[in-house]
Amino acid sequence: MDTIVLRDLRRTFAMGDTAVHALCGVTLTIGRGEFVAIMGASGSGKSTLMNLLGCLDQPSGGDYFLDGVHVSRLDRRQLADIRNQKIGFVFQGFNLLPRTSALENVELPLLYDRSGRIGDPRAAALEVLTQVGLAERIHHEPARLSGGQQQRVAIARALVNRPAILLADEPTGNLDTRTSVEVMAVFQQLNAQGITILLVTHEPEIASYARRVIELRDGRVVRDEPVTKPRRAESDLAAWPENGPAAARGGP
């Protein structure tokens, strides 16, 4: 079953008297359980596409279906419900509340869930923190966590509503190389459990951990192909202590 269906999706911005065509007719499908890296240079349209997929913006034309829902036709309130119930966001900057524990940070999205489908917020938060390997850090505030641990909290927060898709925007951008690989190991583990992941990155090495790469240029898809042999983050981490950072990056 396709989780995402885009048909001739377009987004045009007015810059004074000039029309800027950020997306120029993107058509693609993403199936349930895929792990897709979205790449492209600055101005390629990848951020615009991510905003549309995350229901943070609406297209100028075309159709967007998420889990069978015609998102393009929803009003603001309905879009907010979609964001809260079907989409998990992971950002480059973590966006954690500084004086709040990991557990409380992860519980936060459930305060805005009007559906009541999750049940006990604290139990749900504990479950996803355990899922990302932070069961022993649930009472730690962000300042007492490493960068990688903070990003794991952010991933747990994105998962707590049991979304249809996980959108990660440059999630390793603020991390060193080893920590980046650790975060990619978490994404691969989650994907192995059936979670659909879309990851925006400008780093080919990070994209090599995905199972499919979509590249944008000037608002159009110029490449859409499977990764023949995705790198295994856990294997890279296992090689790290013996062979050093170069081995985990795939070479000097």
Residue 116: per-residue pLDDT: 66
Extract the runs of DSSP E, i.e. beta strands, from the chain: 2-15, 18-31, 35-39, 61-66, 69-70, 87-91, 165-169, 196-200, 212-217, 220-226
Complete edge-to-edge strand list for the sheet that includes strand 69-70: 18-31, 2-15, 61-66, 69-70
pLDDT in tens, 46-95: 999 999 999 999 999 999 999 999 998 888 889 988 888 889 999 888 88
> pTM (2 decimals)?
0.88
How far is residue 211's CA from residue 187's CA, in Å, rounded to a whole number?
Answer: 12
Which DSSP symbol is given to 139?
A: T
How far is residue 74's CA from residue 77's CA, in Å, rounded to a whole number?
Answer: 8
**Three-state SS annotation for 188-206:** HHHHHCCCEEEEECCCHHH
Segment among 86-90, 116-120, 170-174 with least mean pLDDT: 116-120
Residue 117: per-residue pLDDT: 66
Domains delineated in the chain: 2-249 (3.40.50.300)
The residue type of 37 is: A
How far is residue 207's CA from residue 222's CA, in Å, rounded to a whole number?
Answer: 16
